[in-house]
Structure 1
Amino acid sequence: MTNLEVSSPAPVDPDGDWASLRVDCARMVPHWTAPEPTASRPVPPSLIHGVSVPVRSARLLDAMSDYGD
């Protein structure tokens, strides 16, 4: 038989302050899993096609300095 009763060990804070968010996140950590790391390989330029950039965006990027000088 499945127990459908759910109880929360900490009361819910309707204001949602940072302390309650941290408590909620710490309580959820055991339920989260990270995906296995995979090695990615570079894509050859010959396979990259079909990308278009609007002219306004290209001009905007061209007018920006590289390092904010």
Structure 2
Amino acid sequence: MTNLKVPSSGSAPAPSDDGGGLESLRGDCARMVPHWAAPERAPSRPASPPLPHGVSVPPASARLLDALPDYGG
């Protein structure tokens, strides 16, 4: 196992690679930005709420909930 020595002041230097290092990578990314332009955002339409299905409520329960101020009126 190798013990890498890191300088105590400042930030550690970026590891070198075969492609030219971090500055080269940043330059490549900056040159590619025009090729990856995001499409214009289309206005989103509000989704309609799903209709309840398969639910039956007894009339007495419906009246009870309708009478409660937190639920019905």
Same fold (TM over 0.5): no
- Superposition TM-score, scaled by structure 2 size: 0.35
Which has the greater radius of gyration? 2
Relative contact order higher in (CA < 8 Å, ≥ 6 apart): 1
- Superposition TM-score, scaled by structure 1 size: 0.36
Instruction: From the two aligned structures, give the one with the greater helix fraction.
Output: 1
